[in-house]
Chains A and B, each alone.
Chain A
Amino acid sequence: MPLKSVIEAVREAMLEEMRRDEKVFVMGEDVGLRGGVFLATQGFLEEFGQARALDTPLAEASIMGIALGAAFRGLRPIPEVEFADFVWPSVNQLIGEAARVCYGTNGALSVPMVVRIPYGGGIRGGLFHSQNVEAYFCHTPGLKVIAPATPYDAKGLLKSAIRDDNPVVFLEHKKTYRLVRGEVPEEEYLLPIGKADVKRAGDNVTVVSYGLMLHYCLEAAEVVAAEGIDVEVVDLRTLKPLDKETVVESVKKTAKLLIVHEDNLTGGVGAEVAALVADEAFEYLDGPITRLCGPDVPTMPFAQPLEDAYMPNTEKVAEALRKLAAY
C-alpha cells in the first residue's frame, strides 16, 4: 500500500466524494484559487469549477450559515474553517442552529454537512493558531465530532462523514498533516463513525487518546514496554458519539486507565471518558483514573519553552504510565 500524509488523505477523501456525488462541494476562505492554506483542496477549482470550490468572504458566521442553507436545499456542503481559532464567529450557526435543526423540525430537516477544522498546537501557533476546540462541540447533542490521528483513519472517516446526514465537526490536527504518514489503500473504503480503534494491544494499562497525542502515546508505550509495562492504546477516533464499549472492555482487561489529550484538562473529553469508566467499570479498576492533559491556560503560548511546557509529549506520557503501572 502507498504511504500518504494526513493532508493527502483528507484531500483524496473529498476528491473521491465530490466525483461520486455532485451535491458535495467545498466552501470557505482560500479553498478555491489558493487550494486551501494547507492545500487540502488543491486542484479542486480546476476540476470542479468555482461553484463547487467556492471562495467565500472572510466571514465565518456566514460561511456556516450559508452552508446550512445550502444543506436545507439538499446539497452536501463541506465548509472549511481555516483554523480552529477562527471558528468562534460561526459557533451560533454550528451549535445554536445546525445541531438543533433535526430536533427542532421534528425530523423534517437534517443537515448533511461536514465542517472541516484544522486544530491543535505544537507548531508555534500561539494563542490564535493553536486552539483545541473539541470539548465545546462534544457537549452539543445533534453534532458528531471526529478527530482522526492517521491518514488511513482520516480518509475513511471523512468519506463516511460526507455521506452522513448529520452535521459533523471534523477535526484535523495541523501537526499531523505532513508529519504523520501511513498506509492508505488504493481501493475505496469507509470507516464507521463512533468506533474506536485499539492501535496497540496490551495487558497492564489502558491509555485512551486521539489526534496528535495518540502518536505520543504509541511512542511512550514502546518506551515503557522495555521496562516491562504492557500498554494498550485506544484511539477514540470519534469523540461524539463515544465508543463506550471499546473503552470499557479495554479497562476491564487492564484495570488501569490513563487519558491523554492536548485540550485543557477541565471539562475536556477526558472527563467524560473518566466518568464513563467510573460508571461502567468501577469494580474492575486497580488504580486511579488518571488524566494527562493540557493545563487550564488559554491555549499554548508562542514562546518555545512556554509551548513545550504546555504540550504533553512522549516523555510525559511515559512518566504517567510508569506511575499508574506502579499501583
Chain B
Amino acid sequence: MTQAKPRSPKTSRKGKATGKSTGENRAVGFPEGLTEQDLLNSYRQMVLVRKTDERVWMMNRQGKVPIAASCQGHEAAQLGSLLAAQQDGDCFLFPYYRDLAIKMMVGLSPTQVMLSFMGKVGEPYSGARQFPLQGADLEHRVIQISNVVGAGLTQAVGYALGCRMLGDDTVVLAYLGDGATSQGETHEAMNFAGVHRLPVVFVCENNRYAISVPQSLQMAITDVASRAEGYGFPGVVVDGMDLVQSYQATREGIKHARSQGPVFLEMKVERLMPHTTDDDDRRYRGDDEVEQARLRDPLVTFPAYLKEQGILTDQEAEEINAEAQRAVNEATDVAEAASPPDASDMLSHVYAP
C-alpha cells in the first residue's frame, strides 16, 4: 500500500493519520477512531453504492436513464472521507459530479437516488431540472450547483467564509477531480482560502483522467498536492483506494481545517468506467490499464481486508450483497412506476419570491 506523504513542514500529522501504514494499524488492532461497526457499515454502503451505480449504467443502456457519471473505483475515497465528516458532525459538503457515494450515503434512500437518475417526481436535488443528484440537498448539508469544474470551489470557500462570519464551527469539504485542478478558479479558491485560513478541506479525487486527457497533459507534476504549499497550507497524498487511509486523512484534515486553516488531500484513485455513459474510454485507455486497475477495486480489497481482520465472514458478505441487490431492485421498481414532473413545473422557481 502506498504511504500517505505529508507535503508541508506545517503539517504535524506525520505518524498519525498518514504516516502509519495500514499494516501497522492491522498489527495493533483498530485504526484510531474506528469501530468494527463503522467498517462493516462502510462496507454495506460501498456495496449498495456499487449495485446502484451498476444499475443506473444498465438502465442507461435500456434508455431509461439519460446520463450517469460512475463513481466505480472512487468509493473508498468518497466513503472514507464521508465517514470522517459524519463522525465530526459539523461538516458541510460541496461534492462534484462523480460523488455518487457521498451524495447517496449522506442519507438518501435508494429510491430517491433512482428517482433522480430517471428524472421523476421526488428527485431530491433539483426537482429533476438538473442532471441526477445535482443542485442542493440542504437537509443533508450538500450543495453542487453545476458541471463547470472548479466553479463549486470558490462557492465552497465563500460558504466557509460565511460560516466564519456567523460564528459557526463548520468545516467545509470541497471535492474536485484532477481535471478541475487545471481550472483558474481552483487557484483562486485555494489562494483565498489560504489567505484567510478558512476551514476548508479540499478533497481531490485524482483518477489521472480529465475525461480522456491524461495527467501528463494536465500538469507537469506528479502529485497535485504539492501545489498546496504555494497557497500556504499542507497538501497530503492519500491512497484513495483504501477506505481507512481516506478516512484517517480526512479526519485529520477536518481537525486541521478547524484549528489552522485549509488542507489539500490528493486521493489517488482509479476510474474503473468511462467518464460517463456517453463516453467510450477504449479510444484512449488500453484494456490492460483498466484490468490492472480492477485488481485494486475497493469492492475487492476492502472486503478482503475486513475478512483478514475477522470483521466479516463470507456468509455475511453474501448477505450484504443480497440485501443491497434487493434494495436496488425495489428502488428501481418504485422509480419506474413513479410519475415524471408535470410540464407546467417548467416555469416555476426562476426567481425567489
Q: Which chain B residues numbered 115 to 149 have a C-beta less than 8 Å away from chain A?
A: 125-127, 129-130, 134-136, 138, 143, 145-146, 148
- Look across to chain A and name the residue whose beta carbon is closest to the beta carbon of B341: A106
Partner of A66, one of B135, B145, B161, B353: B161
From the candidates B138, B154, B163, B350, name the one contacting A102 in the complex (CB within 8 A). Answer: B350
- Closest residue of A by beta carbon distance from B139: A108
Contact A65 B146 (CB under 8 A): no
Whether A102 pairs with B349 at a CB distance below 8 angstroms is yes
Give which listed residue, B138, B166, B188, B352, contacts A57 with CB less than 8 A. B188
Check: A61 CB closer than 8 A to any chain B CB: yes
**Residue pair B166, A74 in contact (C-beta under 8 Å):** yes
Q: Pick the contact of A73 from B145, B166, B189, B353 — CB < 8 Å?
A: B166
Distance of A97 from chain B, by nearest CB (Å): 5
How many angstroms from the CA of A96 to the CA of B192 in the assembled complex? 21
Is B352 in contact with A107, judged by CB distance below 8 angstroms?
Answer: yes
* Binary CB contact string for chain B from 41 to 81 against chain A (1 if under 8 A, 0 otherwise): 00000000000000000000000000000000000000000
A13 to chain B, nearest CB (A): 21
B218 to chain A, nearest CB (A): 20
- 26-79 of chain A: CB within 8 A of chain B: 51-52, 56-57, 59, 61-62, 64-75
Contacts of A131 in B (CB 8 A): none
Give bound CA distance, A213 to B147, whole Å: 39
Residues on A with beta carbons closer than 8 Å to the beta carbon of B349: 102-103, 105-107
Q: How far is the CA of A96 from the CA of B149 in the complex (A)?
A: 12
Q: Which residues of A contact B192 (CB under 8 A)?
A: 56-57, 59, 62, 66
Residues B159 and A69 in contact, CB atoms below 8 Å apart: yes
Chain A residue numbers with a CB within 8 Å of B154 are: 61-62, 64-66, 68-69, 93
User: How many whole Å from A111's CB to the nearest CB in chain B?
Assistant: 8
- By the criterion CB–CB under 8 Å, are A65 and B151 in contact? yes
Q: In the complex, which range does the number of interface residues on chain B fall in?
A: 35 or more
Tell me if A174 counts as interface (CB < 8 A to partner B): no
Interface: B155 (CB within 8 A): yes
Contact A73 B157 (CB under 8 A): no
Convert B206-228 into 0s and 1s, putting 1 for each residue whose CB lies closer than 8 angstroms to a CB of A. 00000000000000000000000
Q: Are B161 and A57 in contact (CB under 8 A)?
A: no
Shortest distance from the beta carbon of B106 to any chain A beta carbon, whole Å = 15
Within the complex, what minimum Cβ distance (angstroms) separates B115 from chain A?
13
Give the distance in Å from the alpha carbon of A105 to the alpha carbon of B145 in the complex. Answer: 8
Q: Which residues of chain B have C-beta atoms less than 8 A from A62's C-beta?
A: 154, 157, 185, 188-189, 191-192
Across-interface contacts of B146 in A (CB, < 8 A): 96-97, 100, 104
Q: Is the CB of B351 within 8 A of A57?
A: no
Which residue in A67, A73, A96, A166 is a CB contact (below 8 Å) of B163?
A73
Contact: B350 with A142, CB < 8 Å?
yes
CA distance A73 to B145 in the complex (A): 14
> Could you say which of B135, B161, B162 contacts A106, with CB atoms under 8 Å apart?
B135
B155 touches A100 (CB 8 A): no
Asked if A105 and B136 make an inter-chain contact with CB atoms under 8 angstroms apart, the answer reads yes
* Distance A103 CA – B350 CA, assembled complex (angstroms): 5
Interface residues of A in 129-153 (CB under 8 A from B): 141-142, 144
Q: Does A165 have its Cβ within 8 Å of any Cβ on chain B? A: yes
Binding site for A on B (CB under 8 A): 125-127, 129-130, 134-136, 138, 143, 145-146, 148, 151, 153-166, 184-185, 188-189, 191-192, 195, 348-353
30 contacts between A and B (CB under 8 A): A61-B185, A62-B188, A62-B192, A65-B154, A65-B188, A66-B155, A66-B192, A68-B158, A69-B160, A71-B162, A72-B143, A73-B158, A73-B163, A73-B165, A75-B162, A92-B185, A97-B146, A100-B145, A101-B145, A103-B129, A103-B349, A104-B126, A104-B130, A104-B134, A106-B125, A106-B135, A107-B352, A108-B135, A165-B352, A166-B351
Q: Which residues of A contact B (CB under 8 A)?
A: 25, 51-52, 56-57, 59, 61-62, 64-75, 89, 92-93, 96-97, 100-112, 141-142, 144, 165-166
Q: What 9 additional pairs, Cβ within 8 angstroms, besides A66-B161, A69-B156, A72-B143?
A: A57-B191, A57-B192, A57-B195, A61-B188, A62-B157, A65-B188, A68-B158, A72-B162, A96-B151
